[in-house]
A and B are shown apart, each in its own frame.
Chain A
């Protein structure tokens, strides 16, 4: 044997060689794709509706797991003990790792064919390729909005939290040196406290930017014919819409209108949780929406998006009024969407408004049918994606 070869360590090589970068990137893409592919399932889970944004959701990832022929886990394993093992002794949980090999339970990276993300991240991934349609269409409707507060220089006065300690200390040192020079020696030992002039505060200014204004009107039928299932479907739809709007736009206002035979504006919480009863006059909801628009969101200043969910079981005499008000809404809104909720096998053979609304002659009107919870996500995407393509034509 001749001598062995030793190749020394070179830091520059180490910095340059990141051979797994490409494969890691592809893996992360696959994880994201897998999550997006599962969005419909995740959204269909009851548990996410109405949850806080920090809630952690378990997302199954298919396609990122590597499958092989393997045995199930109902056969024996062998381990070594510390000399006192007895038959019948419990040595650990089947799900978790063996004792002695680390903490049980929430270990990262064990094999994440199920990953945990917060609702916020999930919403981000879901809405990656969606936009509220026509946001830029009405340039004139832009109003100044305060986007962020940013730092700009320093000042002598301010609130305590903005005190800049480094600069304050530097100012004191400067003064101390100056004082020593002025007084000659002998003052070095004396106490030299901070003076009010030393204090330096960060100055925060508001940054004004222009953004187009938008308001989203969520109109929901809460009449007696809307049973639990239907309300759940409608709420899921609005929940998505609400999350989407909140994630994407700073300056979007959301208005909630609940209606049966009468319409009223409600809070977000009420909208998503409270039930209702009574007959159905759809026009009442539309009228309320029109009223709110008239009072607070003038079409020349606001981009208006209205969405309505109902089971289509309207009081027949109200239909002409509903059609008229819907037309009116479609006229002043950028987009007016109508979702008809007809769960399969729900036993509701009520009328459908879809036929009636076919008469609405407006490009920005969209009607869709939701039959079960798996329809929610595709319907939602369809609503926003289709308008987006037509909106592109208006882009400069």
Chain B
């Protein structure tokens, strides 16, 4: 091959890397590698790396975009791509040099270990992931080929479902209560707390909770809720909604742990490569590549850099004598299991580290981006909190279904849990239209814009702003 390596070279280095992986105590799924060229890599990237995936024009758009960015040299291609599956599947670029391949293989084992051990991935069923994607693809294709459904209607439903796919519960580690359990909880909540002075207090009026209301507790899984509670959807439509929801659930852990995961893999490829006794020419090339990957991107956040610095910092601090027993290695393995980006940054991003990396917060001001805060002693926590609002799922607004039968008229009432950030108006209108397409009845959204409570309504192509909100607010805490 022109690259100066053969499959046997890769196998040789892979065997040596795996020895190190075992010594370091990484626990990985079995690993498979596939060599592909840049065209195939672009193809995999457009479909989130999966060998089988249902068709939709948005993936064609993603492909064109990636390709344009690549061919104009604005962004390069990743050296690898790893799928959270068992056996884990990774793609290596045919065009890369031997050194890059070795580096990449080491990096892949880092991701593999992370997928296997981090708590966020516990419910992603890696052993079946690829088969599941294949099955879903087959189902979507069968609907599109069914003459009574056809590709156009499948596309219409998928368009609407994609718009809502990220509106789902984020705390996947907490079990979702079943409806019966929710009813029991509502009943228990309705019992007044034991009052030691009951004899002299007036008894509070007994309130019976409405056990039939839908949803009983605010609901964040929009697609799932619609699939279960919209009686006029066809079975194939419900299935499409579930498919999109399942895929979002599969990818959410990766979104939520981007910084940890990339940092973890970079940390381990660095350790492994340094322990391999590489020939000098390979070692020098490795250092060049490593420094390219884990370098600061001025003006932005490079997850490889941020994560790598954090993992090293945690290990260093715990090695240098924090009680009871200084053991940095054990600490990072513990953190790898139990954290996600938000908690990782909140717990371990120190003022010193932020200052070293010169992290700052910026705001948009009259068409320019201006630094508003830097990581000095008074402001570093505020800068960190801003960072937290930009990682993982935090850039996705939290929208909850409050009532699916508002005014007993099957109107869908949603509430945006406002956290200081207003919704973008145009997108909201279009997304409500999609929601209306699926729900089939009027849709209301309560939100806050420029400090005012507002309710927006979408019904039969009419988008309206209702200033004072609906007359009756649902009774919720």
Interface of A toward B, CB cutoff 8 Å:
1-9, 11, 14, 17-20, 22-28, 30, 64, 66-95, 98-102, 107-109, 111
Contact = CB atoms under 8 A, between A and B. Distances in A.
A74 to B, nearest CB: 6
Nearest to A72: B424
10 contacts: A17-B43, A66-B58, A70-B424, A77-B363, A78-B301, A81-B371, A87-B360, A93-B368, A94-B368, A108-B68
B422 A79 contact: no
Interface of B: 7, 10-11, 14-15, 18, 22, 28, 30-37, 39-40, 43, 46-47, 55-61, 63-65, 68-69, 72, 74, 87, 94, 155, 162-164, 166-167, 296-302, 305-306, 357-364, 367-374, 383, 386-387, 389-390, 395-397, 399, 416, 420-428, 430-431, 434
A78 B362 contact: yes
B18 A102 contact: no
Contacts of A85: 358, 360, 371, 374
Contacts of A3: 11, 14-15, 18
Contact of A64 (B61, B162, B360, B426): B61
Nearest to B27: A1
A4 B28 CA distance: 11
A99 B298 contact: yes
Contacts of A9: 35-37, 94
Given A1-B30, A3-B18, 15 more contacts: A6-B11, A9-B94, A14-B39, A23-B56, A23-B63, A67-B431, A75-B421, A77-B386, A78-B390, A80-B301, A80-B306, A80-B360, A81-B374, A91-B370, A99-B299
A90 B35 contact: no
A107 B395 CA distance: 24
A352 to B, nearest CB: 34
B45 to A, nearest CB: 10
A83 B355 CA distance: 8
B32 A5 contact: yes
A292 to B, nearest CB: 49
Contacts of A30: 57
Nearest to B367: A94
Contact of A90 (B94, B358, B368, B420): B368
Contacts of A100: 297-300
Contact of B47 (A19, A25, A88): A19
Contact of B397 (A22, A69, A111): A69
Nearest to A21: B60
Nearest to A18: B43
Given A8-B7, A77-B362, A93 B57 contact: no
A9 B360 CA distance: 44
Contact of B33 (A5, A19, A95): A5
B299 A101 contact: yes
A64 to B, nearest CB: 7
Which one of B360, B361, B373, B386 has the greatest number of beta carbons of chain A within 10 Å? B360
B466 to A, nearest CB: 18
A19 B53 CA distance: 10
Contacts of A107: 72, 74
- Pairs of residues from A and B, 6 with the lowest C-beta to C-beta distance, nearest first: A23-B60, A109-B68, A98-B299, A67-B430, A24-B60, A27-B60
B395 A71 contact: yes
**Per DSSP, are chain B's interface residues mostly helix, strand or loop, or mixed?**
mixed
B420 A27 contact: no
Given A17-B40, A78-B386, A109 B65 contact: yes
Contact of A69 (B28, B360, B428): B428
Which one of B61, B64, B357 has the greatest number of beta carbons of chain A within 10 Å? B61
Nearest to B32: A5
A141 to B, nearest CB: 44
B396 A69 contact: yes
B357 A7 contact: no
Contacts of B63: 20, 23-24
A379 B359 CA distance: 59
A2 B15 CA distance: 10
A22 B300 CA distance: 35
A21 to B, nearest CB: 8
A87 B28 CA distance: 45
B357 A27 contact: no
A147 B424 CA distance: 54
A393 B42 CA distance: 50
Contact of B300 (A5, A19, A80, A90): A80
Contact of B367 (A6, A23, A81, A93): A93
B360 A78 contact: yes
A85 to B, nearest CB: 5
Which one of A18, A24, A71, A73 has the greatest number of beta carbons of chain B within 10 Å? A71
B374 A69 contact: no
A78 B383 contact: yes
A60 B14 CA distance: 50
B28 A1 contact: yes
A69 B370 contact: no
A204 to B, nearest CB: 37
A4 B58 contact: no
Contact of B361 (A24, A78, A88, A108): A78
Contact of A20 (B60, B94, B397): B60
Nearest to B445: A69
Given A9-B35, A9-B94, A69-B399, A81 B60 contact: no
A69 to B, nearest CB: 5
A87 B432 CA distance: 39
Nearest to A89: B371
Contacts of A7: 32-35
Nearest to A27: B60
A109 B69 contact: yes
B299 A79 contact: yes
A351 to B, nearest CB: 39
B364 A74 contact: yes
Contacts of A81: 298-299, 358-360, 371, 374
A17 B63 CA distance: 14
B449 to A, nearest CB: 9
Contacts of A24: 60, 63-64
Contact of B14 (A6, A11, A19, A91): A6
Contacts of B305: 80
Which one of A23, A30, A88 has the greatest number of beta carbons of chain B within 10 Å? A23
A311 to B, nearest CB: 35
Nearest to A24: B60
B392 to A, nearest CB: 13
Contacts of B39: 14, 18
Nearest to A63: B159
B424 A71 contact: yes
Which one of B46, B306, B369 has the greatest number of beta carbons of chain A within 10 Å? B369
B420 A83 contact: no
B372 to A, nearest CB: 6
B373 A27 contact: no
Which one of A1, A3, A4, A91 has the greatest number of beta carbons of chain B within 10 Å? A4
A369 B163 CA distance: 41
Contact of B425 (A72, A89, A99): A72
Contacts of B35: 6-9
A90 B296 CA distance: 19
A80 B426 CA distance: 31
Contacts of A4: 11, 14, 18, 30-33
Contacts of A19: 43, 47
